Amino acid sequence: MRSSSRLRLALSTSSKSLYRILHLSKYNSVVGVHSPYPTRNYATSSCLSTKTTTYYDSQSGLHLPIHNQQEIRLFLDVNTSSDTSIAFEIPHQLNKHRDEADEMSDKLNQLTGMGIHGVILPPFKYPRDYRNFQTLVSIAPPNFYFICSTDDDDGAVLKAQDYSSSTNLSKVFQYNNNNNNSSEKDNENRSHDSFRNSIENGLHTTLSITKEIYVGDKRGDNVVEPITLANNIASMIDAVGGCNFIWLSSKTSLKGGDGNDDECNKEETTRCRKQQLHRHQLVADTMIQICEELIYLDVAGATIKSRLLVDSLSEDIVEDTMFAGVNSYVIDNEEQVEMVENVAQEQGKSILRS
């Protein structure tokens, strides 16, 4: 019943672009026409004090923090960052050397001063990665996020939580398209079970949506349409019992390499570079459509827009999604920090810095 109602709601808007809807919303706010976006009344109730920080969600039965669209948060993806000014490289023996730990602590404080509230770490490969992770947690600033991929091992994250009560740890789960393949369906079921177990263990969780899901491979095969993807995500949240972050990534899977699958070799032709630019624009346009479809959906707990982490692939993506209420963006270089800040200022918002 629930998925069908979502589908009807999403179908009613699937033919509109987010750009048109957002600019219609700007016009509506001037002339007093009701906005097409679903809202929760806590934001406009005259009975609420200006100091109110929570609202009651009837679906989950929880009092939840009000989503502050005016404060923009940044998250650094260290898997792709090549900018030396914000590079984040974990020393191999961080857990053994005090001076390296002190330098890392200074680096983390520098990041928070730039408005970066967390880092997306590479997948753990070696035993030292887990030891270094524990050290990172113990020296991080309060309320800093480490978003990490640890396969099915909840123990690593649960153990690291013992090193700090003020650091936020989030375990990444990869959204998979099973393509009606029985073996892939089995893998998906196991992933759902693992996802559900992590939530039951009290872990903060992040669902990663990578570009091979929504634009397919280089041939454009195996694509999940935005409207279908949004409904699948909402159904997954219902099935597993929650999800704190939804990371809409412009890159390939963390387990699939560095995300540069569209790069052209030096000897390749101009045609390849044109195809690369076309695919880049396709990724950007599709990300906006996915955000549009997701924001329309209503699930138990926090609003979808408050859970979204969106890659800062282009100014259009940041501008449109920020106007729609998204306030968390993934960056991998300082130019993207400046881009997000410029868009925020144009919309009367600001990056939240420590």
In DSSP terms, which residues pair with 71 in a beta bridge?
Answer: 350
Question: Which pLDDT score, from 0 to 100, does residue 264 have?
Answer: 65
For 55, the 3-state DSSP assignment is: strand
Question: Which pLDDT score, from 0 to 100, does residue 86 have?
Answer: 78
pLDDT tens readout for residues 281-329: 999 999 999 999 999 998 888 999 999 999 999 999 999 999 999 999 9
Compute the C-alpha angle 33/40/295, nearest 5°: 80
* CATH code of 267's domain: 3.20.20.20
Question: What domain range includes position 57?
Answer: 2-351
Question: Which pLDDT score, from 0 to 100, does residue 165 have?
Answer: 85
Average pLDDT value for residue range 5-9: 42
Averaged pLDDT score across all residues of the chain = 81
Contact 298, 5 (CB under 8 A): no
Give me the percent of the chain exceeding a pLDDT of 70. Answer: 74
pLDDT tens readout for residues 29-51: 433 334 444 445 444 444 444 56
In DSSP terms, which residues pair with 311 in a beta bridge?
Answer: 330
Compute the C-alpha angle 97/99/105, nearest 5°: 105
Question: Which pLDDT score, from 0 to 100, does residue 179 have?
Answer: 56
CB contact burial 141-166 (16+ within 10 A = b; e otherwise): eeebbbbbbbeeebebbeebbebbee
Give me the percent of the chain exceeding a pLDDT of 90. Answer: 50
State the total domains in the chain: 1
Query: Which tokens in the block code for residue 196?
Result: 């559900």
Strand pairing report for 245-248 and 145-148: unpaired
* Cα of 279 vs its chain's centroid, Å: 21
Query: Which tokens in the block code for residue 147?
Result: 């978003």
Question: Which pLDDT score, from 0 to 100, does residue 150 have?
Answer: 74
pLDDT tens readout for residues 250-289: 998 755 444 455 566 655 677 777 777 888 899 999 999 9
* Cα–Cα separations (whole angstroms), residue 323 to 70, 102, 305: 10, 39, 11
Question: Which pLDDT score, from 0 to 100, does residue 220 have?
Answer: 62
In DSSP terms, which residues pair with 350 in a beta bridge?
Answer: 71
pTM of the model: 0.81
Which parts of 235-281 are beta strand (E)? 245-248
